[in-house]
Amino acid sequence: MKQVAQKPGRIKTLKIDGRDVAGGENQVILDVAREHNIFIPTLCYIEGLSVSGGCRLCLVEITGIPKLVPSCTTRVEEGMEVFTDTERLRKYRMMMLELIFSERNHVCSVCVSNRNCELQSLARRLGMTHVRYPYRYPKLQVDASHNKFAIDHNRCTLCTRCSRICHDIEGAHTWSTMGRGINNRMITDLNQPWGETETCTSCGKCVNICPTGALFEKGKSVAEMVKKPKSLPYLLHTREES
């Protein structure tokens, strides 16, 4: 679903965690929460890209709605009462983080993104001390066929930020997903090695937006890969200007 760049629209007043806040009718709960310095964990959401709603870390509770809703896709409404940090949510978020860590092979100590990784900092911030679910230890590859970048599937969280920035902003449509369920995996073009794709412009946007050590520049060693996700708002801004 394409997120249309919209004006905030008419002002709605609502409560987040007991605080009175205001947001535009076209804004999602997450944006309004951030504007008011209320922290909601996210992994797949990036302002300015189409939304995925896949990681489920940003779920919140709303009074009167029995289901949990993703704050990155739900628009604010007048009189809404949102809770972002209940015991139930904390429990679910922790479980989801543990599931992500159990899914692939995250060995931080030898990772290019060690100490510069959004997944890692989320785990630290949410207080994850260990993973209770059995590690699945999948056998996954590293594709280093591209002359500048590489993807290590062992560190991928399937957040699809890379594919969305490549579609929405660069327009190259290089990334997509393949395989069902636990066998889901990011691919370039029609599952060609990245270096042999015809679409990739080597712009590096996907590498910079990737929250983990899955996408990195070649030549970076352990803990050397620092991402620049902040370049996106700048990019969007300059495009609007021109």
Partner 1 sequence: MTNEELNAIAKAEQESKERFEHEVCVCTAAGCLSAGGDKVKDALTGEIARQGKDKKCSVKGVGCLGLCAKGPLVAVESHGKKDKLYEGVTLEDVPAIVQTLEATETKGAAAAGLERSMDEPFFASQVKVVLENMGKIDPEHIEDYIAVGGYQTLYKALTEMSPTDVIGEVTKSGLRGRGGGGYPTGLKWSTVAKANGGATKYVICNADEGDPGAFMDRSVLEGDPHRVIEGMAIAAYAIGAHQGFIYVRAEYPLAIKTLKNAIRQAEKMGLLGKNICGTTFSFELHLRLGAGAFVTGEETALIASVEGRRGMPRPRPPYPAERGLWDCPTLINNVETFANIPAVIREGGVWFAAIGTEKSKGTKVFALAGSIVNTGLIEVPMGTRLRDIIFDIGGGIPEGRRYKAVQTGGPSGGCIPEQFLNMPVDYESLQQVGSIMGSGGMIVMDETSCMVDVARYFMEFCMSESCGKCTPCRVGTAQMYDILCKITEGHATLEDMDMLIELSDLVKNTSLCGLGQSAPNPVLSTLRYFKDEYMAHIVDKTCPAGVCKICSPAKEPVEVKS
Q: Rounded to the nearest whole angstrom, what is the least distance from the CB of residue 11 to ligand SF4 in the complex?
A: 33
**Closest CB to ligand FES among residues 101, 194:** 101
Among 55, 57, 111, 150, binds ligand SF4 (CB under 6 A): 111
Are the C-beta atoms of 220 and 112 separated by less than 8 Å? Answer: yes
Q: Per CB under 6 A, does 157 bind ligand SF4?
A: yes
* Alpha-carbon span 26 to 7, nearest angstrom: 7
Q: Rounded to the nearest whole angstrom, what is the least distance from the CB of residue 109 to ligand FES in the complex?
A: 27
Q: Which candidate, 206, 210, 83, places its Cα nearest to that of 155?
A: 210
Q: What, of partner 1, ligand FES, ligand SF4, none, does residue 45 touch, CB below 5 to 8 Å by kind? A: ligand FES
User: In sequence order, which residues have a C-beta less than 8 Å from that of residue 27 and are 6 or more positions away?
Assistant: 8, 9, 75, 76
Range list of β-strands (E), the chain: 11-16, 19-24, 59-62, 65-70, 81-83, 142-143, 149-152, 175-178, 185-188, 215-217
Are the C-beta atoms of 41 and 122 separated by less than 8 Å? Answer: yes
**Closest CB to ligand FES among residues 59, 166:** 59
Q: Per CB under 6 A, does 208 bind ligand SF4?
A: no
What is the residue type of 153?
H
Residues of this chain, 5-34, that bind ligand FES according to CB under 6 A: none
Q: Which candidate, 59, 55, 70, places its Cα nearest to that of 100?
A: 55
Query: Total residues contacting ligand FES (rule CB under 6 A)?
Result: 12
The token pair at 75 is 């628009």
Handedness of CA 114, 88, 184, 201 (dihedral sign): negative
Among 68, 69, 108, 235, binds ligand SF4 (CB under 6 A): 108
Q: Rounded to the nearest whole angstrom, what is the least distance from the CB of residue 10 to ligand SF4 in the complex?
A: 32
Q: Per CB under 8 A, does 133 bind partner 1?
A: yes
Options 15-23, 45-53, 123-131, 217-225: segment touching partner 1 (CB under 8 A):
45-53
Site residues, partner 1 (CB under 8 A) = 1, 51-57, 59, 67-68, 70, 73-74, 92, 95-96, 99-100, 102-103, 132-134, 136, 158, 160, 176-177, 179-184
